[in-house]
Chain A
Amino acid sequence: MPADHLSTTFAALADPTRRAILARLAAGELSVSELAQPFEMSLPAVSKHLKVLERAGLVTRGREAQWRPCKLDARPLKNAAEWVERYRQFWTQSFDRLDDYLEKLKSKEKTHARKRRKGE
């Protein structure tokens, strides 16, 4: 997946209102006015957020009905999750190595300490 798509996904997710919109759409399709209700926001403000979500491919709008229902498309979220997972693996494996490395350092330190004591 191209990096700029991921950027768009993450940027879309960076706003709490947009996350709330996605969470509500996870339960099913809603019209823009239905979406706007719990947010105490104007319709244009909600539409603006929806545009960002649409650009990120996270929300699609129906064409058939006049109220153009908003629908969640979770695919970009999956890609983002996979990307984050790679970072998780990076840390897990780096931490394994750090663990080993610290053990090595500590045993070296012990050897030095023994040598120092012997030299006294």
Chain B
Amino acid sequence: MPASDAKASKAPGQSKNELVITRVFDAPRDLVFEVWIDPAHVAQWWGPHMFKTTVREMDVRPGGRWYYVMRGPDGNDYAFDGVFLDVAKPERLVFEGAIHGDASQKVWTEVTFAQEGDRTKITVHQVFGFESDATRGAPIGWNQQLDRLVAYLAKR
């Protein structure tokens, strides 16, 4: 990895149905944003190692559909069907959707692109299992209440 702090890190205070990951990329924000929204670019890097992503539809505007298929090394296909909720070039992308066969509930995802000199810090915030229409665009704010619960789990 070129950037020394290019590491996925866990944000403090997050909990069971939420995920926050940040990483700094050694590239200008316009470029990083571009490779996120251009299907030809997305196919080059999206997905875990050994996965091949085919973007079937990517209409990057609010209400636009995003449909892609990831083929795993085992030959299985994982299709994601989602919709963009917010597109603010080159700062923010919000989308929600579900991976078929993995979970029936939707995952809400917000990606922010922050310029840090010549670098770009990406923060991915995902919320799982929200009630889609009622809380659309409004992730569930987790507080620290589950700290004790987490400690309890650790003891098991």
Contacts and interface: CB of A to CB of B under 8 A. Distances in A.
A104 B94 CA distance: 27
A80 B126 CA distance: 14
Given A88-B21, A106-B27, A10 B8 contact: no
Interface stretch (B60-68, B85-93, B141-149): B141-149
A83 B129 CA distance: 12
Given A9-B129, A23-B147, A74-B152, A94 B46 contact: yes
A32 interface: no
Contacts of B142: 19
Contacts of A9: 129
A23 B41 contact: no
Contacts of A16: 143, 145
B1 A19 contact: no
Interface size class of A (residues with CB under 8 A): 35 or more
Interface string B107-145: 100000000000000101010111100010000101101
Interface size class of B (residues with CB under 8 A): 35 or more
B35 A83 contact: no
Interface in A7-66: 7, 9-11, 13-14, 16, 19-20, 22-23, 26-27
Given A23-B148, A74-B156, A11 B45 contact: no
B21 A80 contact: no
Please classify the interface of chain A as helix (H, G, I), strand (E, B), loop, or mixed, using the class held by over half of its residues. helix
B96 to A, nearest CB: 14
B47 A98 contact: no
B21 A6 contact: no
Interface string A68-110: 0000101001101101100111111111111111110110000
Interface of B: 1-3, 6, 8, 15-19, 21, 23, 25-27, 31-32, 35, 41, 44-49, 101-105, 107, 122, 124, 126, 128-131, 135, 140, 142-143, 145-149, 151-153, 156
Given A14-B135, A101-B41, A106-B27, 10 more contacts: A3-B101, A10-B130, A11-B131, A19-B15, A72-B149, A84-B128, A95-B122, A97-B49, A99-B3, A99-B6
Interface of A: 3-4, 6-7, 9-11, 13-14, 16, 19-20, 22-23, 26-27, 72, 74, 77-78, 80-81, 83-84, 87-103, 105-106
